[in-house]
Structure 1
Amino acid sequence: MAFRKRNVALKRAPSGETNDNALLDPSSSPPATPATASASNPPTPGVRPSPVDGRPTTSTGTPSLDGILAGHAGLPLGTSLLIGENGTTEYATPLLRFYAAEGVVQGHKVHVVGMDEVWGRMLPGIAEERGSGKKREDAKERMKIAWRYEGLGQFESARGASANRSTAQADGSSAEDAALFCHTFDLAKRLTLPVGTAINYIPIPRTTSSPFAAILQNLQRQLALSLPNTVHRLVIPSLLSPAIYPPHSPQPSSVLQFLHALRALLRQYPTRLTAIITIPLSLYPRSTGLVRWMEILSDGVFELSPFAVSLHENLATSAGATKDEERPQGMFAVHKLPVFHEKGGRGGLEGLGEDLAFTLSRRKFVVAKFSLPPVEGDTEAQEAAVREVSGGSAMPRKEELEF
């Protein structure tokens, strides 16, 4: 028989006390309740554990981008992303705005390098979900026994290159709770910044030999003065662009030293700091050694390659395209993902071998799988494409009905 009562937590003895009876006597002091433990360590807004290895992650503000980050369903804290863009377009700018807007909504400290308050006033607003009241009522009427299986299904969709919002947690939380992790933004709206908003605009000095030293000092000061549970987001648009940075900035001794120091800060604050950087690949191609070293010093590397105007028109007028199908504007290449190489972590890399494309509408940015439309005149391939888009609800052919 047991010599102590059941369902009673053991009490930890004070430091320096080795009385065994105090450990076994539940009446000496009340046990700690879960409510007390949670109150001592409140959860950080906008941060949740990764379904892969449990490391803390935060959302980039783009659900489809969260879904391809090595299965973490978000950007792991203490990591950085480097996004290169070919051509003279600005498709990478909405990704930065979503990332900053998500940080403002979650109450994180956002640092923007080289931009002023005008850039902050252009952040997208939160989209209004149609029929949200009806969805909440339907969610409440669901069977209680299926909530764990529903969470597992949502996790599996987030591990691959899914374009849907990754809205599930390891403990099977509902979509309403997970929506607080990643909001849906609308580029046609503007985010109303609260009074005393947490946006720090870091100017780029053009008089010193290296402008990156002042940027690092500003960031280090903000990290040291903030609370221990404050999450910081660093936004660096158009790194090394001649329109923003002085002419001597592209020197390897300057920019590589900055990225190396930024990587050290990310490792020093593994639960408080993330960064997203964009770079114009038309000025600094990936074939150069400078950009290769920049990619090595970054945890995740993506590339945006917009389509030519003629190719985009061909995709829009293709016979295999449907009316409701959104036309992609370019290819989205994944060169590197934020996984723990030095610790042996692999992450979820399923589905990343396929081609990805991005679509930017006047309201949202979506990354999804890409496939060429069927050739005009190929009736069988066109019908197969229509069945795939409609979910297999198209009418079968006559040959399929014959026995």
Structure 2
Amino acid sequence: MSFRKRNAVISSSTSSQTATSRTENAPIPGIRPSPLDGRPTTSTGTASLDNLLAGHAGLPLGTSLLIGEHGTTDFAGTLLRYYAAEGMIQGHQIHVLGLHESWRHSLPGISTDDKKSSSKSETASNDKMKIAWRYESLSSGGGPRDRDAIQRQNSSAAGTTSIFCHSFDLTKRLNPTDVKGQIGFHPSMGMPNLSSPGRDTSSPLKQFIKDIAYKLANSPPSEVHRVIVPGLLSPTSYSSSSSRPEEVLQFLHALRALLRQYSGKLTVIITLPLALYPRATGLTRWMELLCDGVMELIPLQSSAVHAPPPSSKSDSKSEDQIQGLLKIHSLPIFHEKGGGSSETNSAHGDLSFSLSRSKGLVIKPFYLPPVGEDEQEKKKSESSKGSMEF
């Protein structure tokens, strides 16, 4: 039987183990568990889009999302800006393919309403910290010595709470003081080989995969990466060699392999111009099969946009006008509780989207106006114009 002195220090291994366990269990900024199965999810920067992703309330880590868009509009590009801005604020690493470095200056800034709400929550938590220690010490039977410990607990609890999805303002630009992450731009067109014109240089898509794989392998486990591939196969951003089916499919296969290998630290969003590569072609269908989620944006013509009648409140109602339709073809992460299945897609029904300065891109159910309401509104507007002329 061994004896040990009372005042002797046992060892520092237990304290080091507890310290390492605390660092491992520390929450990662911008990551929260899914309400369905607890898998880690991150925000796309658009709250209405997060709510559509199979009930996970965010984009699950280790998954990809393909967004196809018809016409010459750039609503999908706006979603990418929100996705990049959210990652920059949360401290994530962002990798962009085929865009110039000036693109970072077009990222939207945080809305003033979001800053006010966060400041109010901080002041409320601080007031709670100042008052709660008195009552908690009385209820627990502790004396004044417990005040410092209770304040430390409250401060740690307040520090863990963070905003999962920020609201952005398109008229503002991202403030450098709010930026915590890093963004890197990779070329999508290879340089011509002047020494031997007959030989082709290495593909920029393969080089992009190599760069991401190297950074993922050499980054800490708590670092989250976001990959942005805008306008895939667009002739203005990609060379003709990159648009070959074997080149594109190998690129998507490699991205899918990285997502499965680093399922706890990587997400991908890809946009595709459906005017050049419609969904009826076999290449586009194969690309959709290699992505975890597929969505389709159908912008409406200016004459078909359901605009509100001209009135004194037209400024507030103009933000709610429908600018296009949204179709969900597949969602990431099939789950036994129904997440990601075709039943959830049909439950959403017809979806529409609208883009405004303050609210951003809002996705909501699509409803046609009642029959005859448009004619009455037109008559009222014409009568009001006639009265103003007299």
Q: Do the aligned residues in 1 keep the contact of 2:65 with 2:292 (CA within 8 Å)?
A: yes
Measured in 1, the distance between the counterparts of 2:75 and 2:374 equals 33
Moved more, 126-135 or 323-332: 126-135
Q: Does 1:356 align with 2:348?
A: no
Equivalent pair of 1:339/1:345 in contact (CA under 8 Å)? no
Partner of 1:310, secondary structure, is coil
Partner letter of residue 265 of structure 1? L
Gaps in structure 1 of 5+ consecutive residues? 1-27, 145-173, 383-403
| Alpha-carbon distance, 1:336 to partner | 0.6
Q: Which of 37, 40, 53 pairs up with 1:53?
A: 37
Q: Tell me: CA distance 1:137–1:120, structure 2 relative to 1, closer, same or farther (3 Å).
A: closer
The structural deviation recorded for 1:340 is: 3.6
For residue 196 of structure 1, report the CA deviation from its aligned partner. Answer: 8.9
Say whether the 8 Å CA contact 1:209–1:248 is kept in structure 2.
Answer: no
Query: Given residue 183 of structure 1, which amino acid in structure 2 is its aligned partner?
Result: H
Q: Hey, what does 1:276 align to over in structure 2? A: 269
Which of 88, 101, 104 is matched with 1:117 structurally? 101
Aligned to 2:362: 366
* TM-aligned CA distance change 1:40 to 1:87, over 3 Å: closer
SS at match of 1:54: coil
Q: Which runs of 5+ in 2 are unaligned?
A: 1-9, 133-156, 193-200, 378-390
Instruction: Identify which of 238, 245, 248 aligns with 2:231.
Output: 238
- Higher alpha-carbon deviation: 129-138 or 119-128: 129-138
- CA apart distance, 1:330: 0.2
| Cα pair distance change 1:175/1:189, threshold 3 Å | farther
Q: Distance in 2 between matches of 1:99 and 1:376?
A: 40
AA in 2 matched with 1:292 = R
Residue type of the alignment partner of 1:302: M
Match status 1:212 vs 2:205: yes
User: Whole-Å Cα distance in 2 between the matches of residues 284 and 228 of structure 1?
Assistant: 37
Aligned match of 2:151: none
Contact preservation (8 Å) 1:305, 1:332? yes
Q: Is 2:328–2:345's contact at 8 Å kept on the other side of the alignment? A: no
The one-letter amino acid paired with 1:49 is: P
Counterparts in 2 of 1:295 and 1:310: CA distance versus 1, 3 Å: same
CA distance in 1, matches of 2:158, 2:231: 35
1:338 to 2:321 alignment: no
Instruction: Give distance in 1, aligned partners of 2:69 and 2:40.
Output: 28
Question: Aligned residue for 2:175?
Answer: 192
CA contact (8 A) 1:124 1:188 kept: yes
CA distance in 2, matches of 1:210, 1:228: 29
Instruction: For 1:13-52, list aligned pairs within 5 A.
Output: 37-52=21-36
**Helix, strand or coil: the match of 2:27?**
coil
CA shift at 1:369, angstroms? 1.2
Per the normalisation by structure 2, the TM-score is 0.73
Change in 2 beyond 3 A, CA 1:358/1:34? farther
Q: Which of residues 241, 256, 259 is equivalent to 2:252?
A: 259
The match for 1:180 is: 163
Q: Deviations over 1:360-394 (max 9, x none)?
A: 11231111111011122599x99xxxxxxxxxxxx
Q: 1:36 to 1:266 in 2, by over 3 A?
A: closer
CA contact (8 A) 2:89 2:180 kept: no
Q: Distance in 1 between matches of 2:86 and 2:207?
A: 26
Q: Deviations over 1:273-295 (max 9, x none)?
A: 10000010000001111110100
Q: 1:350 to 1:258 in 2, by over 3 A?
A: closer
* Equivalent of residue 241 in structure 2, options 230, 245, 248: 248
**Alignment partner for residue 217 of structure 2, among 208, 214, 224?**
224
Q: Is the 8 A contact 1:205 1:214 kept in 2?
A: no
Q: Is the 8 A contact 1:85 1:305 kept in 2?
A: yes
Residue 332 of structure 1, CA deviation? 1.1
Residue 285 (structure 1) aligned to one of 271, 278, 283: 278
CA shift in 2, pair 1:80/1:373, >3 Å: same
Q: CA deviation at 1:253?
A: 0.6
- Residue type of the partner of 2:339? G
The one of 285, 307, 316 aligned to 2:308: 316
* CA distance in structure 2 between the aligned counterparts of 1:245 and 1:345, rounded to whole angstroms: 41
CA distance in 2 between partners of 1:372 and 1:91 (Å): 22
User: Retained in 2: the 8 A contact 1:315–1:373?
Assistant: no
Alignment partners' CA distance in 2, 1:128 and 1:83:
29
Counting matched residue pairs gives 320
Counterpart Cα distance in 2 of 1:234 and 1:298: 13
Residue of structure 1 in register with 2:84 after alignment: 100
Cα distance in 1 for partners of 2:218, 2:52 equals 34
Amino acid in the other structure paired with 2:73: T
- The equivalences for 1:34-183 within 5 A come to 37-129=21-113, 132=117, 180-183=163-166
Q: Residue 321 of structure 2 corresponds to which residue in structure 1?
A: 327
Checking the alignment, whether the CA contact within 8 Å between 1:339 and 1:346 is kept in structure 2 is: no
